[in-house]
Each structure stands twice: as structure tokens, then as C-alpha cells.
Chain A
Amino acid sequence: MFTIPTDCRYTKTHEWVRLDDDGAFTIGITDHAQELLGDVVFVELPNVDAELRAGDEAGVIESVKAASDLYAPLAGQIIAVNELLDEQPDLINQDAYGGGWIFRMKALSPDDWQDLLDASDYQQLISGED
């Protein structure tokens, strides 16, 4: 069984999105996604200050035998990236929702967050995948 925290919202492409106290969002990939990928060996992070539309490519996550694109869940600007991942990409495997966060962004219209999948929708999505 995969962990799916209820305080996050989710995308169909398996990113989680958390609304932080400062109004910005933190993004990573879900426990389910990291399990599918296997041992993560490299993360290509987006550039800080980059302005992205929802659905734009924001980076790449590589395991030994797969490479998976990372997409911006919301339109907005990148304000921080998790530079620890350069040296320790396996943080994504160990702590997908915590130390394995990938980037933070400021959304153009923060309300869009509400339209993403909630935990139960996401649960349904991945149970239908099998």
C-alpha cells in the first residue's frame, strides 16, 4: 500500500503538491511514482525563476532503467529547488513527501490547486492502473 497524505493535492502524472504557510507550493513525486521508477539516480532540476505553464516540463527523474519527465502542476514561477538531490537523488526513494521534495513554486492563480486531484481521487487513479 502506498502512502498518500491527505494534506496534498495530486496530478495524473504523479506529482504531489502541498500548499505551504507562505502561500507557495512544494512539489515532489508520489510514493507510488518512486516505487514504479525504482532507485532514482539523477534528477534534472528546473531553473529557479523559470516561469512555467501548467503541464510544462519542469525536469527529469532518472532511475537506472527509466527516465520520467516532471511536469509543473500549476502555472507560475519556480522559487526554489532541492539542491540536495544533486548529491542524494535517493532522497526521493527514502522520503518522497519530505526530504525528497523537488521544487517550490509561486502560482499565478493559487486557487487552481483546489482543482487538482485529492488523496482519494489519486488513490482511485492508481488502483485503476494495475
Chain B
Amino acid sequence: MLIFQRSVEGRVALGQWVDGDLDLSDLPEAGLRQTKAVLPEVSELQVVRHYTGLSQRNFGIDTHFYPLGSCTMKYNPRGVHEMAMQPQWLSRHPLSAVDDHQSFLKILFELQQYLSDITGMPGVSLTPMAGSQGEFVGVAMIKAYHDANNDTERTEMIVPTAAHGTNPASAVMCGYTVKEIPTGSDGNIDVDQLREMVGPKTAGIMLTNPSTLGIFSRRIKDVSAIIHEAGGLLYYDGANLNAILGKVRPGDMGFDVMHLNLHKTFATPHGGGGPGAGPVAVADRLKPYLPIPTVVFENEKYRWTTKNDSPDSIGRLSCFMGNAAILLRAYLYIRLLGRKGLTRVADFATLNANYIMKRLQQAGFECAFPDRRASHEFVISFKKEKKQWGVSAMDIAKRLLDYGCHAPTTYFPLSIPECFLIEPTETESKQELDHFIDALIKIRGESETDPELVKTSPHTCVVKRLDDVKAVRELNLTWKPTIND
């Protein structure tokens, strides 16, 4: 039932009524609203009960194992959330005088230093609000760099076919033509082909390492040499940083610019699809182009930077300071884990992924790259199952919900048919992993003996399998009193 269907005309949540006589005499009559917005007229209890009820129709990390590949669904510490919800933080206006803002600015300043150390890159700007915005910023800085060198013939951005869809989309937003480079059978990009592909038009390359296939590209230094020799720059997509946190620094691999997904690696809550935060880190030569504001410490005071401080900055990405309170949460998470704790993240994230991969291989599942180590995630393909029993990766994903596991990422990377991308994260216990492995083994048994059971799953969720074709063909994006009631 929708909240609108609980509405009764004239009902008001009285506890929230703001007293006061209105004086609207200065507002022109013709400029006032004449219609009543479709907002529900409900009591406070109705609201609380309705949305509490809706929350119970969700899987989250707090309720279920959530091995969504490439999304790093690790435990989001409750303490961090509580500390970030202090009224002193919440009530701070973004345009407050800096004297009123020192403790928050100090935190951002320190976070810039932490991220610089973690990435091995000297410059950091925290303002991008998501990984995709970080990518856009990174590519825009590459462009600004080439433009500043009058190197305007560089029009091509190289992107692996297995890359996240945001990579080519971001490159195009910056006016680049995307050139795709395929992955070899060992999961690495083809270095020889790359050598042939680069030239005076190459602006740069966008890479994830470990890649979206869950594999560390061993020849990364060759790749960076080839790109740099051709005059291009290397962009690092930080989506998979959890795999190498405190182990390898993108700056040391030869990358010039990268973004970090704080909502992945640093455990800030995903909130049903956001907010995230996608700070960027850069090598020295790109520092002048970092987006504003950043935080500097001068004369014993922290302050925001402006265009006057960095005239070559690519500019501002949001009205204020991006997703400021998400930055605060990432900072608190780093303080909780500390230096040693951070390096153990990659150890245990990698251990958990390799453990599941090995156990599934032993049980006869087909891994996409059986001869390679998994990073913090890996790919398995159900091509065989599909052919033999007609059960698709999507069917198996839906059936996993019945076993109390959120499904892994399905059908990504696009280059591997009928695949799952599985990322357990370091915060899951052996029991959870074993339960997941057992569930997959059982589902494969069901696929053989009773494929219909799997194909019509889920059976225990609040709804049965939804018709997403109908959702497009009979597009219904808003509730309308006359039609739906």
C-alpha cells in the first residue's frame, strides 16, 4: 500500500505543525500556488509505521550477506554513524565563517593527508560526490593538462572492454572519443595491442587494477610506460581499492590520477544507492587542476580554497563541499582501523574471495580465470548450467534470495556470458561464506532436478519475480489518484 492510499483529506501530523500567523501580503497573488501538491495527509504514527514497514521489505548489509561484486558491501560501523550524527556537525552551515568551522575543516585536512598516503599521490581534492563524478573530474584534469601544454590533438581515451560503464561515459562527458581495448584470455589487457593502439592522439587510459574481472594486472608497469611514452596519462578507477588497501599504491604503479569510492573502501553507508563520495588524488603535474574547494592550513587556521588560490582549477563540482558528512564518516572509519587495521582489510577481503572461489571450483563451478588468483572479487560463469538446464545467472541470483543471500553482481563484466561477480568483503565470517557456498551448490542441484523452481524464484520474498518488460512498456513513474485508486 502506498502512503497516498493512507491519506485522508484534512488530517495533519499535529506534532509537526508550526504555529504562527502568516503574513503573505507582500507576495503577489498571481505568483502563489493554486493547486494542492500530491503529498499525503497522514498522522505521525502512520508515517513511522508505513516507512518502518517499507524498510522491512529490503535486504541490507545489516540484515543479509550482500556479496555484490565491485560494490564492496562491508559492515558500516554503527559507531561511525552515531558519531557523525552529532548536532554540532549537523547544524553547521556550509557558508559559516571559518572560525566557526575549524574542527570540521581540520578533519577534512587530515583526511586529505590520509588519502594522499594511501594512494601514493601528493594532491587530493575531496569534493567529488561519487565515483562517477571523480572519474569525470579525473578525465577533465587530464584534458586540462593537455590543453595547458597546447597538446590539443589528443582526442582519444583508451578504456578496456571490461571496464565499469561509467568509464566510457565519463570520457565522453569530457569530449573524448573512447577506444576500447579487449582483455586477453588470461584476464590482462593485451599489452602488444596497446602498444599498437597508442599514438599522438592518445590522451590517456582508464584502468582498474585489480580489474573488474578480479585480477591484478601484472604488467601494469609496462602499461604505464607505454602510455607515458606516448604522451598520455593514466587514470586509476579506485572502485577496487579494497583489494590493495595498504598493499600497493596506485601512485607507485605509475598512475597520474585516480578516484576513491569512500562508500566502498571506507565503509560509509550506501543508503539505497547513495550518497557516496569520490575524492580524487593526483600526481604533482595535475595538482594545479584539482577541483575546489580543498582545505589548507595557514596562519594556524584551516580554510577552504577558492579560485584565487588555484586559478587553473577545473572548478567547482557542487554548490558547497560535496558530500561533506560522508567524508567525516570515512575519516572516522580510518581512525578506528588505523594503520595496521587498514592493511588487514586487503588481506581478509582477498582471503574471503579466494576461499569462496576455491571451494566453488572444488564443487565443479566454472571460474572465468581458474589459473589466476582472485583479488577481493572473482567471476564465475553459469554458461554450462544455462546450456544444460536452461537456468540463467539471473535465475540463480533470484534463487539465492530465497536462501537469505543478496545476489552477487550479475551480467557484469559484459564480456563473460551468464556471469556473477562475487565480492564477499573482509567483514564476513567463515560461517557466512560457507552458507553462501552451500546455497550455490544446492541451487545447482535444484537446477538439474527441478529447473522450474529456480526459474520462477524467488519464492520467499515480499513479491515474486517482477516483470521488468512491463515496467518499460507500460511506463508508470508516479501515482495518480484517479488511475490507481
Contact = CB atoms under 8 A, between A and B. Distances in A.
A39 B411 CA distance: 16
B121 to A, nearest CB: 35
A41 B411 contact: no
B197 to A, nearest CB: 20
Interface string A31-59: 00000000101100000000000000000
A42 B411 contact: no
A64 B411 contact: no
Nearest to A42: B472
A90 B469 CA distance: 10
A97 B411 CA distance: 29
Interface string B444-475: 00000000000000000000000011011100
A129 to B, nearest CB: 11
Contacts, number: 12
A90 to B, nearest CB: 8
Nearest to A64: B468
A64 B465 CA distance: 15
A85 to B, nearest CB: 12
Interface in A82-106: 89-90
A18 B468 CA distance: 33
Nearest to A93: B469
A128 to B, nearest CB: 15
Nearest to B471: A64
- The prevalent SS among residues of A at the interface is loop
Contacts of A64: 468-469, 471-472
Contacts of B468: 64
Interface residues of A, number: 7
Contacts of B411: 65
Contacts of A41: 469, 472-473
Contacts of A42: 472
A59 B472 CA distance: 19
A42 B468 CA distance: 13
Contacts of A65: 411
Contacts of B472: 41-42, 64
Nearest to A62: B472
Contacts of A90: 473
A90 B411 CA distance: 23
B409 to A, nearest CB: 13
A42 B411 CA distance: 21
Nearest to A38: B469
B320 to A, nearest CB: 35
A42 B469 CA distance: 11
A113 B436 CA distance: 54
Interface in A55-72: 64-65
B177 to A, nearest CB: 14
Contacts of B469: 39, 41, 64
B475 to A, nearest CB: 9
B407 to A, nearest CB: 14
A122 to B, nearest CB: 21
Contacts of A39: 469
A39 B473 CA distance: 10
A124 B253 CA distance: 44
A65 B473 CA distance: 13
Interface in B404-424: 411
Nearest to B394: A65
A42 B472 CA distance: 9
A1 to B, nearest CB: 15
A106 to B, nearest CB: 31
A89 B474 CA distance: 12
A90 B474 CA distance: 13
Interface string B469-485: 10111000000000000
Contacts of B471: 64
Contacts of A89: 473
A39 B474 CA distance: 13
With most chain B CB atoms within 10 A of its CB, the pick from A41, A42, A65, A89 is A41
Given A41-B472, A41-B473, 10 more contacts: A39-B469, A41-B469, A42-B472, A64-B468, A64-B469, A64-B471, A64-B472, A65-B411, A89-B473, A90-B473
Interface of B: 411, 468-469, 471-473
9 contacts: A41-B469, A41-B472, A41-B473, A42-B472, A64-B469, A64-B472, A65-B411, A89-B473, A90-B473
In the complex, the 5 A-B pairs of residues with the closest C-beta atoms, listed nearest first: A41-B472, A39-B469, A64-B468, A41-B473, A64-B469
